[in-house]
Chains A and B, each alone.
Chain A
Amino acid sequence: MDATAGATTPPESEPARKRRVHGMLKLYYGLNEEGKSSDKPESLDPCDINGPHFDPEVFLNKLRKECSLAELMDQESCMVKQIRALDSDMQTLVYENYNKFISATDTIRKMKNDFKKMEDEMDCLSANMAAITEFSARISGTLQDQHAQITKLSGVHTLLRKLQFLFELPARLNKCLELQAYAQAVSSYRRARSVLKQYSHMPSFRGIQDDCHAIMDQLAQQLRQKFRDGGSSAKDLSECVELLLQLDEPAEELCDKFLSHAQTRLEANLHSLEAELREPTPGPIAASDLPASSTSKPSASPLAGTPTDLSSPTKNSFPSPTARTDILEFIDRGCNEFVSSLCLVIASYQELFINRPQEGDLASKNIPQMASGKLHSFVDALAARYFNLVERRIQEEKGVGDNSLLVRALDRFHRRLQAVSKLLPGSAVPSLGTEIVVRAARERIKQYLAALQSFYLDSLTDVRQALATPRISVGGAVVPPGGGILGGTAPGKDATPSLPELLASLSASILNQIKSVLASVHLFTAKDITFSNKPYFKGEFCSQGVREGLVVSFIKFVCQSSRQFCESAGDRGGSTPPALLLLLSRLCLDYETSTISYILTLTDEQFLAQHHAPVTPVTALCSEAREAAQKLLNHYVKVQGLIISQMLRKSVETRDWVNTIEPRNVRAVMKRVVEDTTSIDVQVGLLYEEGVRKAHSSDSSKRTFSVYSSSRQQVRYAPSYTPSAPMDTNLLSNIHKLFSERIDIFSPVEFNKVSVLTGIIKISLKTFLECVRLRTFGRYGLQQIQVDCHYLQMYLWRFVSDENLVHFLLDEIVGSAAHRCLDPAPMEQSVIEVICERG
């Protein structure tokens, strides 16, 4: 203890010095203390006596070199002093540290003694603990018996409590029953059920079980009653079902019950729909239908005149659908009543039987599968009946007036069925519904086609009437029948439209009708209609239905009916007015050139077909139309030619050519022929272009006539006065024929005025020729023929494409007449001219 005190005191007396010494020592031993070394930068000077790099040799040399002796002496004494001081410092330090060592040794010794004492105390503690353990073992040994008893008692207590629950169960159930707390009752019962079943061999438990059963039966009865009444809310109902299921009620039976219950309600709906379908309710509903029929009329009215005739008879002929509710209303009712309640039934059924969480033993019974099977067949059966009704109603919808109503109805029908499909994903109902819509659409197209066709025929009848009226009104007038047909050409007949106007109005009204039909049909594919994106409506409906079934069929019908005009009229003696033939021919030609492609383009635009089924190409239709136009025009030529031919034939056949008087003027028949030809020319000119004719001089009538009459005729007839004549005549005419082309009389004509007129004149003149050949002529007979032919020559050349044709035929006529003449003395050309110019 003393040493430590002694050691501590000296540093306190002079701390600054001591620290310095410490530092130096440290420095010496290479212990570099951080704080201090940074203060003093280490000197590298080997002459620094305190530096670490001190080199005594260098130091000494330096001193010796630099210092004088005296200084050296001073330096030496100073050094000696310093060395002494250092020595004493060293001694002090050693002393201090020794003391510290001594005191540490003392302390260790003292600690050794203390530990010995503690060891004794620990021994004592362990002895005590052993004693405590011994006591404790002794106590628990004595308490062992009592503990077992207590455990047993507590077990008995629990059992008793359970038993009490069981005994109280019937009463409790009764109470629950009274309070209608069915859920609690069922849960209580379920808790007790297995126990009761386990101990049912014991009479008392059996009693309880029986009681419980009775009560539960009663409860089930009540639940079933509630279920059956159905008046309760869906939530109640579902609770009912849940409870019943928990009570082991067979799920199948429940499903059946539920469905049959629903069925009665749905059937009531169906019956009301059916009743509506079966017996028309005339009174108030008819009044409510009025706006519907009035809306259908404006849609048809742009078609001018006939469309109202078209739509009104169809309306009148099917009074039943219009007299009762219209289809939209019907479908609406069907949707609101039947479909929505069906959806409700499906939803609640699924809620009850299919989508409920499965728990416990119920899961194993596979209820959802069974239930959904039942539901499907149930829905299918009812939907089939509903569809049947809807289809019947749609079939009654025959008036083509307003399509939007039908489309809207179908849309609603289809839309509502989507709800069913959402509820019942696997069901066939929506697809069946789509099929109905598709069928309805198909049927609709057929109806439209029929309507278009009847419209076309009606229009034709109108045109016929329009053509006939002026003829009747001026029938007795001077105007020849051909001219009468022209209508607008004669004054005072402005009221009746002319041929081009008729044609324009006819084709415009047909086009309008087609457009309106297309517009109506287009409703089926409108974007907001649910079924429009079904594959049928995207593809087949557009291409096969509308394009082929409606538009193409109609065009074909037009061509076909036109062709029939030719055939039937040919046999029955021209029942069709020629003007109508001409008009139809022009119509078909217009179809060929523009209308068909326009209509089809329009159709293709509106009904962008994604269906790649083969469709009738435009060219095929065009060629068909052209064929029809050609046929009609040929027939027109034939009919007109026949009319003129008949006149000529009668005039030749009825006259006594041998005993006729000297010609004073042109026969009236010839004038009539020229008049008729002129009027035909005007008529054809109204509808067809002029066409090309072979070039001829401005004065061709005169010039060719002179050739024909003077030079050729003389060459021809002069030899016939000599006995050797016939051979020469034949030779000449044969040579002439050798160089002229063979003439096809009834040959197809081109679509222009000149060609048509050429055809008619050819037919007429050929008839004239054949008739002349069958007769015998006197001198004046021949001369009359000469005059007549010259007259025809003067007027007919301008109508034909090649005037040489007229010349040739007229030559033939005069030549044949000369052959058939008993006394062939031709008339002077100048006289003929005078007679003809006189008229």
Chain B
Amino acid sequence: MEDDAPVIYGLEFQARALTAQTAETDAIRFLVGTQSLKFDNQIHIIDFDDENDIINKSVALHQAGEIRHIAASPADKSVLTTCYNKTSDSRVATCAAVWRIPKDWEAGSHESPDDSSHNPQSLELLCHLDNIAHGNTACVLWEPMSDGKRVITLADNHLLLWDLQQSSTQATLSSSATLEGKGQIKFTSGKWSPHHNCSQLATANDTAIRGWDLRSMSQIYCIENAHGQLVRDLDFNPNKQYYLASCGDDCKVRFWDVRSINEPVKSLEEHSHWVWSVRYNHSHDQLVLTGSSDSRVILSNMVSISSEPFGHLVDEDELSDAEESHQEERNRAPLQDSIIATYEEHEDSVYAVEWSSADPWLFASLSYDGRLVINRVPRALKYRILL
């Protein structure tokens, strides 16, 4: 069966920020934030029509500055946060804010998608999440699967927990933690764990990965030298609460069991340059996506450490022909960790990869030159996992 060709969408500006619209579970929708010093930056809202392979875009202006990081609210489709560079008086500072996408974006985009004269509306600022005293914000994390009332920002060496009130128009700092240590410590990225009643967080700084308990705002574990060089990104396994993936400048992707942090459970070295992003598939955690500055996106099948190491056993019981199912299981038994596919549509460094929140078999990747590529998991593998 031939796989669908990738769909490519080009932005006018350079970009590093990409997220799926988390609250949207019906339409396949991604948000991209651009990075341009000289022009007004934009948020591209990209709708993908799966049946026709057509991309519909709409643009909202983000005039505050170039976007380094973007995150969508898990509860409200129209709410998102950005981390942006604010340049003023020859000073560059990275700030964070909560925004609302203008109401009519959906209608407007459909009316005249190709209308170049159409002036995009600006994002509506809900509130700022910054505090100059805390330094530059590296990223904003929404509380997963919640009502979108709590966010965490990582600013330099501070970890700040905000409560959003009055339909997100007001943010109050509810608690914070500070990482002390030698030299200048900066968080590079973090992830809010969807497990343990959303009470845990993992952050990365330099070569270390740290776990935090949000109730006490204290460190619960620390993987020193998780990577040989800088750790770039993290992701929690959505189905296995102690499993964590990380990637970094040593070209490696590592999988950790936070209960035994001395050795990684698994280590992959497939990229030929820094790995900037790693993402577990939301429903089938054996599928792991990585993007790297070697311009490649790699989809790996990590069956051995997934929550379904032997596939869907329950489903097989339902098969009427017992013998056939037996046969099938035997065929499936030698399924091993492997690379499923290497996607080479990008020509510049890939800084972000993201699974769709609506379709578990679809993902997007964004490279620095502003190219967004939407790909699907190969059908053969998809059916193998499903059947």
Q: Is B356 interfacial (CB-CB < 8 Å)?
A: no
The number of chain A residues with a CB under 8 A from chain B is 29
Q: Which of A569-586 contact B (CB under 8 A)?
A: 570-573
Is there a chain A Cβ closer than 8 Å to B14's Cβ? yes
Which of A599-607, A662-670, A736-744 touches B?
Answer: A736-744
The CA-CA distance from A819 to B37 in the complex, in Å, is 8
When distances are taken between beta carbons in the complex, the residues of chain A under 8 Å from B294 are 742, 744-745
Is the CB of A825 closer than 8 A to any CB of chain B? no
Closest chain-B Cβ to A618's Cβ sits at a distance in Å of: 30
Q: How far is the CB of B312 from chain A (nearest CB, A)?
A: 36
- Of B18-26, B54-62, B83-91, the one contacting chain A is B83-91
Closest to B36 in A: A726
Q: Mark A642-653, 1 if CB is under 8 A from B, else 0.
A: 100000000000
Tell me, yes or no, whether B124 is within 8 Å of chain A by CB: no
Task: Give CA–CA (A551, B64) in the complex, Å.
Answer: 70
> When the two chains form the complex, which single residue of A642, A730, A766, A820 contacts B293, counting CB atoms closer than 8 Å?
A766
Q: How far is the CA of A659 from the CA of B87 in the complex (A)?
A: 12
Docked-complex contact A744 and B229, CB < 8 angstroms: no
Q: Are A570 and B12 neighbours in the complex by a CB distance under 8 Å?
A: no
B349 within 8 A of A: yes
Query: How far is A359 from B38 in the complex, measured between Cα atoms in Å?
Result: 128
Interface flag for A733 (CB, 8 Å): yes
Asked if A713 is an interface residue, CB under 8 A from chain B, the answer is: no
Residues of chain A from 551 to 572 with CB closer than 8 A to chain B in the complex = 570-572
A778 touches B228 (CB 8 A): no
Instruction: Pick from A642, A726, A820: contact of B39, CB below 8 A.
Output: A726
Q: For chain A, residues 755 to 795, give those with C-beta under 8 angstroms from any C-beta of chain B.
A: 766, 770, 773, 776, 778
Chain B nearest CB from A264 CB (Å) reads 64
B-side interface residues, number (CB < 8 Å): 30
Q: Is B274 on the interface with A (CB-CB < 8 A)?
A: yes
A776 to B35, CA, bound (A): 11
| Distance in angstroms between the alpha carbons of A730 and B348 in the assembled complex | 11
Residues A770 and B90 in contact, CB atoms below 8 Å apart: no
Main secondary structure, interface of B, reads: loop
Q: Compute how far the CA of A776 lies from the CA of B87 in the bound complex, rounded to whole angstroms.
A: 9
Residues on A with C-beta less than 8 A from B12 are 726-727, 730
**Is residue A746 within 8 Å, beta carbon to beta carbon, of the partner chain?**
yes
- B347, A570: Cβ atoms under 8 Å? no
Q: Which residue of B lies closest to A763 (CB)?
A: B273
Mask, B356-381, CB within 8 Å of A = 1, is 00000000000011100000000000
Enumerate chain B residues within 8 angstroms of A773, measured Cβ to Cβ: 349, 368
Q: Are A745 and B272 in contact (CB under 8 A)?
A: yes
Contact B273 A572 (CB under 8 A): no
For the complex, give the distance between the alpha carbons of A642 and B274 in Å.
12
Q: Are B369 and A658 in contact (CB under 8 A)?
A: no
Per the bound structure, the CA–CA distance linking A524 and B85 in Å amounts to 78
C-alpha spacing A658/B294, complex, angstroms:
28
Contact of B225 among A572, A745, A819 (CB under 8 A): A572
Determine the chain B residues whose CB is within 8 A of the CB of A738 once the complex forms.
Answer: 347
Hey, which chain B residues are within 8 Å of A744, CB to CB?
Answer: 272, 294
B residues 62-96 near A (Cβ < 8 Å) are 85, 87, 90-92
The complex places the Cα of A508 from the Cα of B272 at a distance, in Å, of 37
Which residues of B are found within 8 Å of A571, using beta-carbon distances? Answer: 225, 228
Q: How far is the CB of A810 from chain B (nearest CB, A)?
A: 16
Min C-beta distance of B206 to chain A, whole Å:
11
**CB-based nearest B residue for A730:** B369
Query: How far apart are A736's CB and chain B's nearest CB, in angstroms?
Result: 10
Alpha-carbon separation in the docked complex, A727 to B13 (Å): 8
- In angstroms, how far is the closest chain B Cβ from the Cβ of A385? 51
Closest to B264 in A: A571
User: Does any Cβ of B come within 8 Å of A821's Cβ?
Assistant: yes
Taking the closest CB of chain A, its distance from the CB of B10, in whole angstroms, is: 8
Distance, CA A726 to CA B15, complexed state (A): 12
With CB as the reference atom, state the residue of chain B lying closest to A820: B37
A658-B91 in contact (CB<8A) = yes
**Given A573-B225, A730-B370, A745-B294, also A821-B37 (CB < 8 A):** yes
CB of A24 within 8 Å of the partner chain: no
B156 within 8 A of A: no
- Given A571-B228, A727-B12, A730-B12, A770–B92 Cβ distance below 8 Å? no
A570:B250 contact, CB within 8 angstroms? yes
Q: 8 Å CB contacts to A: which residues of B1-53?
A: 12-14, 36-39
Instruction: Find residues 291-339 in chain A having any chain B CB closer than 8 Å to their own CB.
Output: none
B251 CB within 8 Å of chain A: yes
Question: In the complex the two chains form, what is the Cα distance from A734 to B347 in whole Å?
Answer: 8
Beta-carbon contacts under 8 Å, A814-832 to B: 819-822
Is the beta-carbon distance between B90 and A734 smaller than 8 angstroms?
no
In the assembled complex, A75 has its CB within 8 A of some CB on chain B: no
B40 to chain A, nearest CB (A): 12
Which residues of chain A are near B13, meaning CB under 8 Å?
726
* CB atoms of B90 and A659 under 8 A apart: yes
A776-B85, A820-B37 given; A733·B369 CB < 8 A? yes
- Chain B contacts for A730, CB-based, 8 A: 12, 14, 369-370
Residues 237 to 281 of chain B near chain A (Cβ within 8 Å)? 250-251, 272-274
Q: How many angstroms between the C-alpha atoms of A745 and B349 in the bound complex?
A: 12
Q: Cβ of B295: which chain A residues have Cβ within 8 Å of it?
A: 742
Q: In the complex, A744 Cα to B293 Cα: how many Å? A: 10
Q: Is the CB of B251 within 8 A of A746?
A: yes
Tell me, yes or no, whether A77 is within 8 Å of chain B by CB.
no
> A37 contacts the other chain (Cβ, under 8 Å)?
no
The interface residues of chain B lying within 8 Å CB-to-CB of A733 are 369
Which residue of chain B has its CB nearest to the CB of A736? B347
B84-125 residues at the A interface, CB under 8 angstroms: 85, 87, 90-92
Q: How far is the CB of A745 from chain B (nearest CB, A)?
A: 4
Q: Do A822 and B349 touch across chains, with their CB atoms under 8 A apart?
A: no
Q: Does A8 contact B (CB under 8 A)?
A: no
| A713 CB to nearest chain B CB (Å) | 18
Q: What's the Cα separation between A725 and B14 when bound, in Å?
A: 13
A787 to chain B, nearest CB (A): 20
Q: A650 to B263, alpha carbons, bound, how many Å?
A: 29
Distance from B209 Cβ to chain A, minimum over Cβ atoms (Å): 14
* Cα-based distance from A746 to B249 in the complex (angstroms): 11
Q: Do A822 and B347 touch across chains, with their CB atoms under 8 A apart?
A: no
**CA–CA, A573 and B226, complex, Å:** 11
What is the bound-complex CA distance between A737 and B274, given in angstroms? 20
Does B347 lie within 8 Å of A737, measured CB to CB?
Answer: yes
Tell me, rounded to whole Å, the shortest Cβ–Cβ distance linking B270 to chain A: 11
Bound Cα distance A63, B9 (Å): 176
Q: Which of B36, B274, B344, B370 contacts A770 (CB 8 A)?
A: B274
A571-B251 Cα distance, complex, nearest whole Å: 12
Residue ID in chain B nearest A724 by CB atoms = B12
A733 to B39, CA, bound (A): 19
Please indicate the chain A residues that have their CB under 8 angstroms from the CB of B37 in the complex: 776, 819-822
Q: How far is the CA of A747 from the CA of B269 in the complex (A)?
A: 12
Query: Are A658 and B90 touching (Cβ within 8 A)?
Result: yes
A327–B228 Cα distance when bound, in Å, is 53
- A770 touching B349, Cβ below 8 Å: yes
Quote the shortest CB–CB distance from B157 to chain A (angstroms).
Answer: 15
CB distance from A626 to the nearest CB of B (A): 20
The interface residues of chain B lying within 8 Å CB-to-CB of A747 are 272
Residues of A within 8 Å of B38, CB to CB, are 725-726, 822
Could you tell me the distance between the alpha carbons of A571 and B223 in the complex, rounded to whole angstroms? 12
Using CB atoms, name the residue of chain B closest to A816. B368
Judge whether B273 and A734 touch: CB under 8 Å: no
Residue of A nearest to B230 (CB): A649
Task: Taking A819-B14, A822-B90 as given, write out 9 further A-B residue pairs in contact, using a Cβ cutoff of 8 Å, ordered by the A residue number.
Answer: A659-B90, A726-B12, A726-B38, A727-B12, A745-B293, A745-B294, A766-B293, A776-B37, A820-B37
By Cβ-Cβ distance, the 4 closest A-B pairs, closest first, are A745-B273, A744-B272, A746-B272, A737-B347
Question: What are 9 A-B contacts defined by CB distance under 8 Å?
Answer: A571-B225, A730-B12, A734-B347, A737-B348, A742-B294, A745-B293, A745-B294, A746-B273, A778-B90
